[in-house]
Structure formats: C-alpha cells, structure tokens
Structure 1
Amino acid sequence: MTERRILVVDDEEDLREILRFNLEKEGFKVDTAASAEEALTLDIASYSLLLLDIMMGEISGMALARVLKRRPDTAHIPIIFITARTAEDDTVEGLSIGADDYITKPFRLKEVVARVEAVLRRAGKDANVQHERDKGVVGYETLRIDTVSKRVTVDGTEIALTKKEFEILLLLVGNAGRVFSRQEILSRVWDDDVYVLERTVDVNITRLRKKIGAYGDCIHTRQGYGYSFEK
C-alpha cells in the first residue's frame, strides 16, 4: 500500500500535535510545520494531503494554497482548511482557490479523520481516470465527456448539449468535488466582453440535469456557494 503522508500547517503547537497523534493512529505518516514559511522549505510534492490553518504569520493559509495551486508539482495535492474563521466569504474564497474541504474550529477529531479519508478517496478516484484524461476523455461511470470530439454520452448514447452546457459539464465533472460559484462559472465559460446574468448559470444547470438523466443528481447546489459535481 502506498504510504499516505499528511502535512499539518498550523501555528498552534498543541493543535498540531493533537492532529498528528490522531492521524498517526489511523495509519497516516504525519509531518507538521508551524508556519507557511516553514512548510515551503519542505518537499510538499511528496505529501498526499495538506491540512492548512488560515490565520498564520505573514503568509496565510490562503496565500500558501494559492502558491501551491500555481505550482505544477503541487497543484494536484488535496487541501483541507482548518480554521476558526466562519464567514461565508472566507469559505467561498477557500473553495474557489481549489481547496477540497473546509473545517471550522472547534471540531471533533473523528470528523477531521473522516474528512481526510473522504478527500483522499476522491483524489484516488481522480487518479484512476487520469489515463482517460490523457486521451481527452473525462467522466464518471457511464457519463463520458470526449474533449476532442466534443461529444457527451450516457450509457453509450450521445446527449445533445449546447456549447455552454458542454463547457459547464466539463468544468464540474473535470473538477469533481470542487464548488464553483456562479461568477466563477461565468468567467470560465462565457467571454469577458459578454454581459451575462448569474441567473443564466442556473438555467443552464437545470437543463443539464435533465439532459444527463440520473447523473443530474450528481450536480449539487451548495446554497450560498455555487455548484459542484459529487461522485
């Protein structure tokens, strides 16, 4: 079995050690860092998952995540934020950066372990389909999105989608588990010089759900945040 390595980055020593102890009990190899600056001195690309506090020193957890998501060697590593900040804007910002989950303090240690396991399972599934991505195919079970031919099939039957519906579906399925705000979907799918209401995203999502049948239930509405594709 591949060693599962976790890096905990938090400026509270007691919390770092509590997380280390409990995660190691579950079979993880755990390292810790007291700041983002210290974390950046480590071989971050060697870790399976990162647990980041947000409020730390000169470089925040958010800033660290942005740096890592821009680096080719670390962009794929799942990130879970653990923080005392609960404002909705903070949650949205964390998820928009590319974080995989967001846990607020105080928390139950069993919850943290369960969230870590869930994120790693999802990341493992994404890795298993990487060979299909290399061939230009993205999908889940019998939902297939061919990025070369621009065709979508369900159970082998082609589904007729508009260009915008295709691009929204590709964005969500290709980043399964990540929540995209309406504004982020607009900025990625529509041209910058075209003014489009956020409501347009909702209309396209509604049509998509109907067209892809049972897989429509996989497109989740995260109230106040946006949309995600959940496997």
Structure 2
Amino acid sequence: MNDYKILVVDDEEDLTEILKFNLENEGYAVDTANSAEEALKMDLVSYDLLLLDVMMGEISGFRMASMLKKDKKTAHIPIIFITAKDTENDTVTGFNVGADDYISKPFSLREVIARVKAVLKRTTKEKNEKLPEQLIHENLVIDIGKKKVDIDNEEVALTKKEFEILFLLLKHKGRVFSREDILSNVWPDEVYVLDRTIDVNITRLRKKIGKYGKCIVTRLGYGYCFEAK
C-alpha cells in the first residue's frame, strides 16, 4: 500500500468501479463519484490526484477543473482527464484549464496506470523541490514570498542584503559560510566588495534581530553560521 489517494469522477458507474478495482490493486486508496456535483461535496484537498471525466451532467469536467484551479486549497491537485472527446480543441481546452494529462476512451488499464504513476511521480517531485514559504526559528520568521522578517509577530526592517544574509544562514542552520561564500551568494554581481562590508552588514543584522543576534556566530578564521542557542 502506498500513501497516494485518488478520486475517480465519471458518470459511468461500471467504469468507475473498474478503475477503482485496478488502481487499488496497484496499492492506491481510491474513492469514486458519479458526478461533479457529488465530487464537489467531498473533501477534495485530501486527494493526491483526480481522474476526471469531461462529459458529465450540468457541471462538466472542464468546468469542475476550472473551479478547483481557482481555489487556492485545491489548485495544487493534479488532474487527468478521461474522456471520449479526443479532438485537438478538446485536448487544448483540457490543458488550458490545468490538466496534467489527457486519456481518450477507449483506453487500456495499463495505459491509465502508467499515466497515473507518471503524473504522481512528477508532481510529487515538483512539490518536494519547492522552497518552503517560511523559515522559522522559535519566534523569528522569514516570509520568503513577501521578503520580510517578523520577530514575536513584529516586522523587522532589514535591507535587501541583510535579509539575504539572514536567509542564507538560517536556511543552512549550523553550516559555516566564509566571507567568500556570503559574497558569492549575496553580492553575486558585484565586482568589488570589501570583507569589511560583509562584517558591517552582519553587525547591523545582529542588532536588528535582537535576542537572535547571538545566534549568528563568528567562527574565527572561517566565517559565520546560524546556531540555535
């Protein structure tokens, strides 16, 4: 048994049961729904993949996918369309609304399973490679997207270089960075930066982050690192 949970949405009941049976034999946890309306009442954020028919009732697969992609809670869920429609325009529409793959009926179960495995492998890798949205040490929080630092829920005003030094050291907590390392990461395009410039920025950064300033430790002859105290 693996940790992936799949939802199959198709108005052909026999087909959903066949897909459920075969996917469960591969070790997946599988639920089914026979309409988009039924599926939208389910806890969709708990699924790792949706197998979604295009031609269904009042809410088509395309429309359901579009709804999910507009919602931040479900936008990340990969979708494979399974449909009897196989024209170029339909395929393009499917990908435009956020499909990860597209399988035309009739299909072989081996093909479905192979495509499911490929999409899950790719999307899991992409998810794992994403940077975290925040770096946190006790009550010091670096918001990576907003490029800001909070301590005890109060924003700390840092310069761009101070922010980048703190981000570098905290991201690699415990690792010692030489001045040359910091220079190549924080001042990559600068032709001439004095070691003293790095030291001054470190000194200012320590003062600005208050009690966490002591976590930025100097290793004489080697450089700087962020250590938990």
Aligned to 2:209: none
Q: CA deviation at 1:47?
A: 0.2
Structure 1: gaps of 5 or more residues: 137-148, 150-155, 159-231
Q: CA deviation at 1:2?
A: 6.3
Within 5 Å, give how 1:121-136 maps onto structure 2: 121-131=121-131, 135=144
Aligned to 1:52: 52
CA distance in 1, matches of 2:74, 2:7: 13
Count residues with an aligned counterpart. Answer: 141
Aligned to 2:43: 43
Instruction: Tell me the TM-score normalised to structure 2 length.
Output: 0.58
2:2–2:28 contact (8 Å) kept in structure 1: no
Identity rate, percent: 62
User: Which amino acid letter does the alignment assign opposite residue 61 of structure 1?
Assistant: G
Q: CA deviation at 1:132?
A: 6.2
Q: CA deviation at 1:124?
A: 0.8
Within 5 Å, give how 1:164-179 maps onto structure 2: none
Instruction: Tell me the TM-score normalised to structure 1 length.
Output: 0.57
CA distance in 2, matches of 1:69, 1:103: 20
CA distance in 2, matches of 1:67, 1:4: 23
Structure 2: gaps of 5 or more residues: 135-143, 146-163, 165-184, 189-229
CA distance in 1, matches of 2:86, 2:34: 22
Aligned to 1:65: 65
- Which is greater in Rg? 2
CA distance in 1, matches of 2:105, 2:10: 12
Q: Secondary structure of the residue that 1:30 maps to in structure 2?
A: strand
Aligned to 1:21: 21
Q: Secondary structure of the residue that 1:123 maps to in structure 2?
A: helix
User: Which amino acid letter does the alignment assign opposite residue 26 of structure 1?
Assistant: E
Change (3 A) 1:16 1:92: same
Consecutive aligned runs of 4 or more in structure 1 exceeding 6 Å deviation = none
Change (3 A) 1:8 1:119: same
Q: Secondary structure of the residue that 1:115 maps to in structure 2?
A: helix
Aligned to 1:229: none
Higher RCO structure (Cα 8 Å, ≥6 apart)? 1
CA distance in 1, matches of 2:118, 2:132: 23
CA RMSD of aligned residues (A): 2.3
Q: Secondary structure of the residue that 1:38 maps to in structure 2?
A: helix
Deviations 1:11-42, CA, capped at 9 Å, x for gaps: 00110000000000000000000000000110
2:2–2:27 contact (8 Å) kept in structure 1: no
CA distance in 2, matches of 1:92, 1:133: 32
2:36–2:64 contact (8 Å) kept in structure 1: yes
